[in-house]
């Protein structure tokens, strides 16, 4: 594995600690420890869930590309999935900050940017793995 990607993977694994802490935050929100409205609660849950799932997906993409022998710079496409995890989660969390918001704020644009990054990154990862596999056939 590219040494810089190894560092990215290690750092990403460390971020799982913050996702786990986010779970304790959600528990406090759900038990009434914090005065958030229903929109905020649902967006916080969605942001937390997307962070966890997309970080795992990003790590799987890095490992799948490495196992397939993807190179030539294409191995960096998996980092796009990890970037999307940040953007999407940030969009969910930041768009409902404030006192009793009735609808998401402008930070919701981060969610849509993350969705675009995720789509492009997954296309690149999938294609790069297929090409590496086809090249290995002969």
Residue 55 · residue 10 · CB < 8 Å: no
Overall pTM surpassing 0.85 (yes/no):
yes
- How far is Cα 38 from Cα 77, in angstroms, rounded to an integer? 36
Instruction: List the one residue out of 18, 114, 128 whose CA is nearest residue 66.
Output: 128
Q: Give me the tens of pLDDT residue by residue for the chain, a chain 138 residues long.
A: 888 899 999 999 999 999 998 888 898 888 888 889 999 999 999 999 999 999 999 999 999 999 999 999 999 999 999 999 999 999 999 999 998 899 999 999 999 999 999 999 999 999 999 999 999 997
Q: What is the DSSP letter of 98?
A: S
Residue 47 · residue 89 · CB < 8 Å: yes
Alpha carbon 112 to chain centroid, angstroms? 13
- How far is Cα 82 from Cα 102, in angstroms, rounded to an integer? 30
Q: What is the DSSP letter of 36?
A: -
């Amino acid at each position: 594995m590219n040494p810089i990607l190894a560092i990215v993977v290690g750092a990403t694994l460390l971020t799982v600690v913050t996702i786990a802490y986010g779970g304790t935050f959600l528990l406090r929100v759900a038990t009434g420890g914090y005065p958030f409205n229903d929109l905020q609660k649902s967006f916080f849950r969605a942001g937390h869930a997307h962070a966890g799932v997309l970080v795992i997906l990003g790590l799987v993409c890095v490992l799948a590309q490495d196992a397939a022998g993807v190179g030539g710079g294409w191995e960096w496409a998996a980092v796009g999935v990890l970037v999307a995890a940040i953007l999407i989660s940030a969009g969910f969390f930041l768009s409902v900050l404030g006192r009793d918001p009735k609808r998401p704020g402008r930070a919701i644009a981060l969610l849509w940017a993350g969705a675009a990054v995720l789509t492009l990154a997954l296309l690149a990862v999938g294609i790069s793995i297929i090409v590496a596999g086809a090249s290995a056939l002969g």
